[in-house]
């Protein structure tokens, strides 16, 4: 546990050193509630959390075939997908979920993947415009 906390502290120190490079975005936690069959609706509860993040372009080789397919189908473009790095301290005691989303400059981005980071000092989210 000591090493995990050391890594989290290091990520926080890097974000502090980066000063004005991280961007302020909104992480939207979505909780899916009960389904009402009479109304054919499902309740959603959202909680907005202001976080600092680094937004950068990057792809995995594994994702290339999926990316090419969705671009060929006209569902996405290269500018529709990106990655977002968020320190774990920005979302304390919370693990991002694929049902959550981000608001970046007022634009809604869905989380479609999360890249593993040993001991989770930060979250690397793969996102695309909705």
Which residues constitute the domain of residue 119?
A: 2-129
User: What is the C-alpha end-to-end distance of the chain, expressed in Å?
Assistant: 37
| Total tally of structural domains belonging to the chain | 1
Given a cut of 90, whether residue 62 has pLDDT beyond it is no
Please tell me what DSSP assigns to residue 51: E
CATH label of the domain that carries residue 49: 2.40.10.270
CA–CA dist 27, 24 (Å, integer): 10
Res. 78 pLDDT band, cuts 50 70 90: low
pLDDT greater at residue 71 or residue 120: 120
Please tell me what DSSP assigns to residue 21: S
Res. 57 pLDDT band, cuts 50 70 90: confident
Please tell me what DSSP assigns to residue 64: H
pLDDT at 61: 47
93: exposed, middle or buried (Cβ count in 10 Å: 0-12, 13-18, 19+): exposed
∠127-129-130 over CA atoms, to 5°?
115
CA distances from 33 to 43, 85, 104 (A): 5, 28, 25
């Amino acid at each position: 546990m000591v090493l995990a906390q050391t890594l989290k502290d290091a990520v926080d120190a890097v974000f502090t050193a980066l000063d004005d490079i991280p961007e302020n975005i909104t992480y939207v936690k979505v909780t899916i509630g009960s389904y009402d069959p009479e109304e054919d609706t499902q309740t959603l509860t959202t909680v907005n959390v202001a976080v600092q993040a680094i937004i950068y372009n990057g792809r995995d080789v594994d994702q290339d075939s999926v990316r090419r397919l969705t671009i060929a189908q006209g569902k996405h473009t290269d500018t529709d997908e990106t990655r977002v790095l968020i320190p774990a301290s920005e979302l304390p005691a919370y693990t991002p979920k694929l049902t959550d989303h981000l608001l970046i400059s007022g634009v809604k981005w869905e989380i479609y993947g999360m890249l593993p980071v040993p001991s989770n000092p930060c979250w690397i989210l793969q996102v695309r415009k909705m």
